[in-house]
């Protein structure tokens, strides 16, 4: 980043700090339906039918709960098609947590100049929530609180990104900076912004303590009233970091995370393979939009590993409609594609690779750039299962699953 670009970002960062210190930071409202359901569940005479009635008044929330109930993370038995059956399968207490996630999803994915940052943070938050919930279950801790802590401990990043976008709308900055510079600014500010958000929402003290301490050294855990849950959140951060930088999170990689037991590693491996479907349950219509922001300078490539030329067809579904692309290159980290339509940045999408042996997988869109002839796109395979990992590695190596011209 040039020194000329750094100065305006420093001014924006000071503006965020001023908003926090003066208590004028704009914080999104806490999801109203989650509050109403929580109040309902607090009554002894509350029933699932009443919860279903509250949720059913919002079509978006209803759709999200139905998708969650049929996702790999919650699926047990045949698909369910009605709201009451979905709530019965998931459980009323867990539905409340999912309503919190669904209620926050629209703001996290709203169109804006920094939407690619917010989308990735949202994927991280949902992934962390799923991992925290599983680790808490295995350790005999409170799974309800673990899910919420995983979801919200970094939510300050989304609020900080939204605040930056508001400053951009005010004309505080007219240039462009690399995506990494914007993300680093958000990272530096997310703890104080997260604490301000927790205070505005009047969340339990434990939430604020975990927000404040989740980056602190282990020997400072005593500052949190529940060191066990704090440790779960910290472990989830390590797991999610692997999830976003690897095509698959393996037992060998998990074994290098200190504090994870053998049984926990196997359980976490199973959970992260279910994350893509879980995340997709909370997608909103705005998440399908491509936003080429003039404020964000894209790198030449998001694929750091060396690549080799490759020609084959790839289709990627956005809002259930496939978009067709031609692969240009492949690396262990992902595919470089070209096509006539854009892809939304930092979205988890279902793709089909038309290799000699075609296979379907989840991909994370790492970059989308407009060109004279259409769009260049780079995608990273995400949370590959064992069989898909084998097919992907064969394709990378140019083996039996190699390229086929027809899509």
- The string of pLDDT tens digits covering residues 45-64 is 778 888 888 888 888 888 88
Nearest-angstrom CA–CA distance, 59 and 76? 24
Binned at pLDDT 50, 70 and 90, residue 92 comes out as confident
**What's the pLDDT at 218?**
61
The pLDDT value given to residue 3 = 43
Q: Give mean pLDDT, residues 217-237.
A: 83
Q: What is the pLDDT of residue 55?
A: 86
* Structural contact between residues 71 and 64, judged by C-beta atoms closer than 8 angstroms: no
Residue 405's pLDDT is 40
Give the residue-averaged pLDDT of 261-265: 95
Hey, where are the domains in the chain?
A: 1-18+111-291, 31-109, 298-397
Q: Which residues of 71-83 are buried (b: 16+ CB within 10 A; e: fewer)?
A: bebbeeeeebeeb
Q: Tell me which architecture the domain covering 298-397 has in CATH.
A: Beta Barrel (2.40)
Say how far apart CA 377 and CA 198 lie, in whole Å: 37
Chain Cα centroid distance, residue 69: 19
The torsion angles phi and psi of 289, rounded to 5 degrees, stand at -85, 140
> Which segment of 104-113, 124-133, 169-178 scores lowest on mean pLDDT?
169-178
Average pLDDT rounded to a whole number, residues 357-361: 95
| pLDDT band at 23; cut points 50, 70, 90 | very high
Instruction: Please name the fold of domain 1-18+111-291.
Output: Hypothetical protein af1432 (1.10.3210)
* Neighbour tally for 60: CB within 10 Å: 14
User: What are the backbone dihedrals phi and psi of residue 245, each rounded to the nearest 5 degrees, phi first?
Assistant: -120, -5
Same fold, 1-18+111-291 and 298-397: no
Flag whether pLDDT at 406 surpasses 50. Answer: no
Higher-confidence residue: 397 or 291?
397
For the ranges 211-220, 297-306, 316-325, 366-375, which has the lowest average pLDDT? 211-220
Whole-angstrom distance, CA of residue 41 vs CA of residue 353: 46
Mean pLDDT score of the chain: 89
Q: What is the pLDDT of residue 7?
A: 57
Residue 72 has pLDDT above 60, yes or no: yes
Exposure string of 165-204, with b = 16+ CB inside 10 Å and e = fewer, is beebeeeebeebbebebbbebbbebbbbbbbbbbebbeee
The residue with greater pLDDT, 161 or 40, is 161
């Amino acid at each position: 980043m040039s020194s000329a670009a750094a100065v305006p970002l420093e001014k924006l960062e000071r503006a965020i700090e001023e908003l926090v210190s003066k208590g004028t930071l704009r914080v999104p409202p806490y999801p109203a339906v989650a509050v109403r359901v929580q109040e309902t569940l607090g009554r002894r005479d509350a029933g699932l039918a009443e919860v279903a009635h509250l949720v059913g008044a919002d079509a978006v929330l209803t759709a999200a709960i139905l998708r969650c109930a049929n996702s790999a993370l919650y699926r047990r038995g045949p698909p369910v098609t009605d709201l009451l059956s979905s709530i019965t399968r998931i459980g009323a207490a867990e539905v409340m947590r999912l309503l919190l996630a669904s209620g926050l999803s629209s703001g996290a994915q709203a169109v804006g100049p920094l939407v690619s940052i917010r989308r990735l943070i949202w994927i991280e938050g949902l992934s962390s929530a799923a991992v925290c919930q599983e680790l808490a279950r295995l350790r005999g801790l409170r799974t309800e609180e673990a899910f919420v802590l995983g979801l919200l401990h970094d939510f300050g990043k989304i609020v900080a990104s939204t605040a930056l976008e508001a400053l951009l709308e005010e004309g505080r900055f007219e240039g462009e900076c690399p995506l990494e510079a914007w993300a680093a600014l958000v990272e530096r500010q997310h703890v104080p912004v997260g604490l301000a958000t927790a205070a505005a929402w009047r969340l339990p003290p434990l939430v604020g303590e975990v927000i404040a301490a989740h980056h602190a050294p282990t020997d400072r855990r005593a500052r949190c009233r529940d060191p066990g849950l704090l440790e779960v959140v910290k472990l989830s951060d390590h797991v999610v970091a692997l999830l976003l930088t690897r095509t698959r999170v393996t037992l060998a990689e998990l074994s290098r995370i200190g504090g994870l037991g053998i049984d926990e590693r196997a359980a976490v491996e199973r959970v992260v393979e279910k994350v893509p479907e879980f995340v997709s349950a909370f997608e909103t219509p705005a998440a399908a939009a491509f936003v080429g922001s003039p404020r964000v300078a894209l790198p030449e490539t998001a694929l750091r590993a060396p690549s080799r030329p490759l020609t084959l067809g790839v289709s990627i579904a956005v809002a259930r409609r496939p978009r067709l692309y031609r692969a240009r290159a492949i690396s262990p980290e992902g595919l470089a594609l070209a096509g006539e339509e854009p892809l939304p940045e930092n979205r988890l999408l279902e793709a089909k690779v038309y290799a000699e042996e075609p296979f379907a997988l989840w991909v994370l869109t790492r970059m989308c750039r407009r060109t004279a002839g259409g769009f260049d796109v780079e995608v990273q395979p995400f949370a590959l299962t064992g069989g898909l990992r084998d097919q992907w590695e064969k394709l990378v190596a140019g083996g039996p699953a190699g390229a086929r011209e027809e899509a």
